[in-house]
Structure 1
Amino acid sequence: MRLLVFGGTSFVGRAIVEDAVGRGHLVTTVNRGLTGADVAGVEALRGDRSTELGVLAGRTFDAVVDPSGQVPLQVLRTAWAKYAPFYAFVSTTAVYRALDAAGTDESAATWPGVADEDGDPADLTTLGPRKRGCELAVEQTYGSQGLIARAGMIVGPHDNVGQLPWWLGRIAVGGPFIAPGDPGRGLQLIDARDLAAFVLDQVEARRGGVHNVVPDGPNTTMGRLLDDCVRATGSDAEAMWMDEGFLLAQGVQPWAELPLWIPGGGAFWSVSGASAKAAGLRLRPFAETVRDTWEWLRSGGEVRAVAGAHPFGISKEKEQKVLAAWESA
Structure 2
Amino acid sequence: MERIRIIVLGASGYTGADLVRLARIHPAVEIVALVANQKAGQTMADIWPHFMEADSLPPLARADAVDFGTADLVFGCLPHGASAELLAGLAGPRIVDLSADFRLRDAETYAEWYGVTHPAPALLDEAVYGLAEYARDLLPGARLVACPGCYPTAALLALLPLAQARLISPDDISIFALSGVSGAGRSLRETNLFCEVAEGAAAYAVGKHRHMPEIEQELAKAFGQDVLVSFTPHLVPMNRGELETISVRMTPGAALADLRRALDERYATEPFVHVLPPGVMPATRMVRGSNLCVLNIFPDRIAGRALVVVAIDNLVKGSAGQAIQNMNLMFGLPQTLGLEAVPLFP
TM-score greater than 0.5 by the shorter chain: no
Shorter-chain TM-score tier: 0.3 to 0.5
TM-score scaled to structure 2, two decimals? 0.39
TM-score scaled to structure 1, two decimals? 0.41
Higher fraction of strand: 2
Q: Between the two structures, name the one with larger relative contact order (CA 8 Å, sep ≥ 6).
A: 1
